[in-house]
Structure 1
Amino acid sequence: MPRLPTPVTLTDRGEKRGVRKRPRLLPDQDGTAPDVPPGRHAPRRRIRQETATAWAFIAPSVLVILGLSVVPVIWSLLLSFQADDLVTPSRWVGLDNYRALAQDPHFDEAVRNTVVYTALYVPLSIGLGLMLALALNRRIRLVGLYRTLIFVPFVISAAAQGVLFSFILDPEFGAANAVLNEFGISRQGFFTDPGQALLALLAISLWSGTGFCVVVLLAALQDVPASLIEAARLDGAGRLQLLRHVVFPTLTPVLTFLLLWQTITSLQVFDLVYVTTKGGPLGSTTVIVYFIWEQAFKNFTAGYGAAAAYALALALLILAVVPRAARALRDRARPDQHIEGAAR
């Protein structure tokens, strides 16, 4: 049988130019459009599936945050403008709660006690923490044990600390007065003396809170470049000059963080006061947070307590915003100084 000639086909223009022609999809027998090729929208479908999976994992946490933080914040803000005793229906009083705070001598006393506590606790905790961190940054025997012993009090809860020191500082049967008696010192009232109660709380807070400062500062000291220290020593810098011109400048961001952190912590002290003194004697240890709790859950004036809570929140917001704003202004002024210096 003779061989048939091969049919001659014309080359498509797209193929000549190296462009691959996309196949045309014909409709099905029932007239419906055919399915899109599986690889065409696969990336979009995969992104939607990953997004849905991510939200499925995040949703429980979002609900918890909304239910335990956002909703109570909004509710307490509205409560601060109402007279509410948590039992009977509340009524709107506007800014009366805030006006009453400005004229309340007990709130003034709570603010004064909190300011005194903060003014003493913040510099002492950071100063002691820096001294201990410098001492523990050396290569000495059992340095790991010393670091652990200093940090352990920070791990103990404030409630446990309050119970422990309530026994130690008991004016009648406490171990502290027994030791003072051995040195010929008369018995002290500690938590029962209005002049000593706040200082006793301060001493307990320093015993427990200094360990956090030590750990943070010790980590910062170990990050100081060794080359800077060696260069300063070769230039003849002494120990004090080395601390002043090399170590302290590198610790400035960490010290700023500790200053803000310890201030916020001291303004929020509550559990230690609640376990030990209950705000007494004679209101000498009533701090702002304990005043808020007392007004809301002891005197059943929830609206008044919410107003005091938002006064504290405003103070904390100012403490958080002012350093950042000052840093932004300082950073904005530095380029101008560099430009002026270059022009000169």
Structure 2
Amino acid sequence: MAVTFAATPRTQQESAPRPPRRRGRAARRNLVGWGFAAPATLVVVGLSIFPAVWAFFISRTKWNGIAPATDLGWRNYERIVQDPDAVAAAKHTLLLTVLFVPGSILLGILIAVALNQKIRLLGFYRTCIFVPYVASAAATGILASFVFNPQFGAANEVLRRIGLPTQGFLENPNQALVVICLIALWGEVGFCAVIYLAALQDIPAELVEAATVDGASRWRVFLHITLPELRPVTVFTTIWQTITAMQLFDLIYTTTRGGPMNSTQTVVYYIYELAFQTQRLGYGAALAYLLFAVTLLLTLVVMWYSRRNGSESLR
């Protein structure tokens, strides 16, 4: 004898498609959300894409901002390679990046490890580390220009007290770029420390405890567990600090203005001089686009290298 079961109303309700009324409500909610977000989105996109496209057209012209522009094609880009000032500015930018990026990452990791311990006044120390990053870079540069002043600066006063010879610092062509790098590290290392501190607190405690039980020392735990877990954060900070170093302008403007003897003239400051002091807007825009291309290329190389090493380590 066959037994048949009738579908219950609940089963029929679950198997039935979503009513058109619910779909209409979801569509109206999406439209309302886009209605609030669309104006701000258009403003942000317009203020970023339109100037970039307009700057590209300017980079192919000779224009001083007043007279009609003259089309030059790609000649502005060809002149960059033959410009000794542009080559010197590129070397200064490269040196600043090589000094700043590894230094900020290394100091950030060390400070984050120290602030990840259970010590007294921990919140106060963390605040002190992050305050220089929040402070204005222009104010930092003005303060540093007084600290490193060769005549009455606090840095030379300390050297006099301990019996060491005074230094020229920002007025010495051989020291000015290194001093600017130290000032930039003082202002930016707090960002790296906070990022690494958050990453350290996300590392599973079970991994560290298991390695400790197996007899691993603190150094081996840090080398084989902590550092591999920090790899994504290191990639992010490397890219971020590279962009920061290559676009450093405010510290140079408030301390040396590219001097002495153009020893601290970076690419960004050279672009500023071309565009706003000599009114060579076309050539300055071309150099700015070249800087963007180099920054993008370095970012892609760092990401590719990190993924390649990560995949090899998994093998």
Q: TM-score, normalised by structure 2?
A: 0.88
Equivalence map 1:58-77=2 (5 Å): 58-77=37-56
Identify which of 289, 298, 304 aligns with 1:310.
289
Which residue does 1:144 correspond to in 2? Answer: 123
Which residue does 2:7 correspond to in 1? Answer: none
RMSD: 2.0
CA offset at residue 328 of structure 1? 6.1
CA offset at residue 183 of structure 1? 1.6
CA offset at residue 143 of structure 1? 1.6
Instruction: Tell me the distance in 2 between the aligned counterparts of 1:327 and 1:247.
Output: 16
Q: Note if contact 2:235-2:303 (Cα within 8 Å) is conserved in structure 1.
A: no
The amino acid that maps onto 1:255 is: T
The amino acid that maps onto 1:283 is: N
Instruction: Tell me the distance in 2 between the aligned counterparts of 1:192 and 1:236.
Output: 54
Deviations 1:258-303 (A, max 9, x none): 1111111111101111111111111100111111111011110000
Q: 1:124 and 2:84 equivalent?
A: no
Deviations 1:143-197 (A, max 9, x none): 2211111111111111010111111111112222222111222332111110111
Which residue does 2:257 correspond to in 1? Answer: 278
The amino acid that maps onto 2:165 is: S
Deviations 1:211-241 (A, max 9, x none): 1111111111111211111111111111211
Q: 1:178 and 2:157 equivalent?
A: yes
Gaps spanning 5+ residues in structure 1: where?
A: 1-39, 338-344
Which residue does 1:33 correspond to in 2? Answer: none
Equivalent residue pairs, number: 297
Which residue does 1:85 correspond to in 2? Answer: 64
Instruction: Tell me the distance in 2 between the aligned counterparts of 1:180 and 1:152.
Output: 27
SS at match of 2:288: helix
Instruction: Tell me the distance in 2 between the aligned counterparts of 1:128 and 1:331.
Output: 23
SS at match of 2:143: helix
Equivalence map 1:95-110=2 (5 Å): 95-110=74-89
Pair 192,122 (structure 1): closer, same or farther in 2 beyond 3 Å: same
Instruction: Tell me the distance in 1 between the aligned counterparts of 2:246 and 2:280.
Output: 22
Q: 1:195 and 2:184 equivalent?
A: no
CA offset at residue 75 of structure 1? 0.1
Instruction: Tell me the distance in 1 between the aligned counterparts of 2:175 and 2:217.
Output: 41
Q: TM-score, normalised by structure 1?
A: 0.81
Identity of aligned residues (%): 45
Gaps spanning 5+ residues in structure 2: where?
A: 1-18
SS at match of 2:99: helix
Pair 328,258 (structure 1): closer, same or farther in 2 beyond 3 Å: closer
Q: Note if contact 2:235-2:306 (Cα within 8 Å) is conserved in structure 1.
A: no
Instruction: Tell me the distance in 1 between the aligned counterparts of 2:192 and 2:133.
Output: 10
Which residue does 2:232 correspond to in 1? Answer: 253
Q: Note if contact 2:133-2:189 (Cα within 8 Å) is conserved in structure 1.
A: yes
CA offset at residue 332 of structure 1? 8.0
The amino acid that maps onto 1:218 is: L
Runs of 4+ in structure 1 deviating by more than 3 angstroms, as ranges, are 40-52, 323-335
Question: Which one has a larger percent helix, Structure 1 or Structure 2?
Answer: 2
